[in-house]
Structure 1
Amino acid sequence: MHEMRRKDRQVTDRAEIHRILDECEVCRVGFFDGAEVYIVPLNFGYEVKDGRLTFYFHSAVQGRKVELLARGDKVGFELDCGHQVVAGEKACDYSAMYKSIIGTGRTYEVVDDADKLHAMQCLMAHYTKKTGEKPELPPKALKSIRMFALEAEDLSCKVHL
């Protein structure tokens, strides 16, 4: 990862990074398909597995996103939350408050049914943690989706509050 210019905004504490991940609603993944850059917003779940941050995404069974995720190429990702514009007297005095995480990693398809179920449970836990719901996932539903993982290789976190 490149060195962060604003070190005063850098977050390195893993627990704080996980709190920020918990606040984020969308993970944007950027691909380069050899000709074009393609960025797609995705619902996600995550876990720390073998000391490495792993994101999980679900998808329909076909499409451009599926083709790019299945290739296993290096990708970029970005998450952000806590946005607030701070007004100033003139344009140059305006500022923005935010929390963001960016990084790179590699994707792979989760194919084993037990692993797919675990990945989907991680995803559902991310969105239901506030409600405490634990929706059931019928095994039949796993057959109609594809699950992908992104193992983060590098990441940086920045907060300006």
Structure 2
Amino acid sequence: MRRSEKQITNRQQLEELLKNGREMQLAMHNGDFPYVLPLNYGYADNCLYFHCALQGKKLDCLRTNPKVGFCVGEVVKRIDGDKPCDWSTRFRSVVGSGTAEIIEDRDGKIAGYDIIMRQFGGPVGNYEEKNLKGSLLVKIGIESMTGKQSL
């Protein structure tokens, strides 16, 4: 990282960012170009979780190549200025890479949904069978991550 004074090296701080985040940008391989999507997610035990439909472009990409990149960011404060270049933000972010695993079994889906619901402070369990049967869970095992902040 060019600006080493802005780097977040503390693992606990990186995990707090992931635990408190609500949306991640997920980058996948799609032939010659990357495919990036914003997704709601849950974080637990060095893994990110999200749900999806039984078919679609996202799954096509992940089945072709499960290696992904992700970013979770938080704007802490916008800094206004008199001139355009005086404007800025105070932020924190974590970027990383990992390998996606598609979870199709009922118990695995429930465990992943519980992690996502806890991330948002919602109720866990008692998922409708039609929702479990009509969705898949994706678990991303984080292989590397780094953070940056400007506070």
TM-score, normalization: structure 2? 0.89
Identity %: 28
1:75 partnered with 2:68 = yes
Give, as a single letter, the amino acid of the residue that structure 1 aligns with 2:40.
N
Compute the displacement of 1:139 (Å). 4.1
Counterparts of residues 22-41 of structure 1 (less than 5 Å): 22-41=19-38
For 2:95, the aligned partner's letter is I
Moved more, 83-92 or 16-25: 83-92
- CA RMSD of the aligned region, Å? 1.8
Instruction: State the SS of the aligned residue for 1:40.
Output: strand
Q: Give the aligned partner of residue 88 of structure 2.
A: 95
Corresponding residue number in structure 2 for 1:147:
137
Partner residue of 2:146? 156
Residue 68 of structure 1: how far off its partner (Å): 1.5
CA distance in 1, matches of 2:19, 2:103: 22
Structure 1 stretches of 4+ with a deviation exceeding 3 A read none
Give unmatched runs, 5+ long, in structure 1: none
Structure 2 distance, partners of 1:16, 1:139, is 37
Segments of structure 2 that go 5 or more residues without pairing to the other structure are none
State the Cα deviation string for residues 5-63 of structure 1 (Å, max 9, x = none).
12211112222222212332111111121122210111111111xxxx11111001111
Report the TM-score, using the length of structure 1 for normalisation.
Answer: 0.84
Cα contact 1:23–1:81 (8 A) shared by 2 = no
Aligned length: 151
Distance 2:128 2:82 in 1: 56
What code does the residue aligned with 1:10 have?
Answer: Q
Secondary structure in 1 aligned to 2:120? helix
Q: 1:72 to 1:116 in 2, by over 3 A?
A: farther
Checking the alignment, whether the CA contact within 8 Å between 1:71 and 1:108 is kept in structure 2 is no
Q: Deviation of residue 72 (structure 1)?
A: 4.3
**SS in structure 2 opposite 1:65?**
helix
Cα deviation, residue 109, structure 1: 0.5
C-alpha distance in 2, partners of 1:154/1:71?
21
Where in structure 2 are the equivalents of 1:48-87 lying within 5 Å?
48=45, 53-87=46-80
The answer to whether the Cα contact below 8 Å between 1:27 and 1:41 also exists between their aligned partners in 2 is yes
Counterpart pick for 1:138 among 122, 128, 138 = 128
1:11 maps to 8
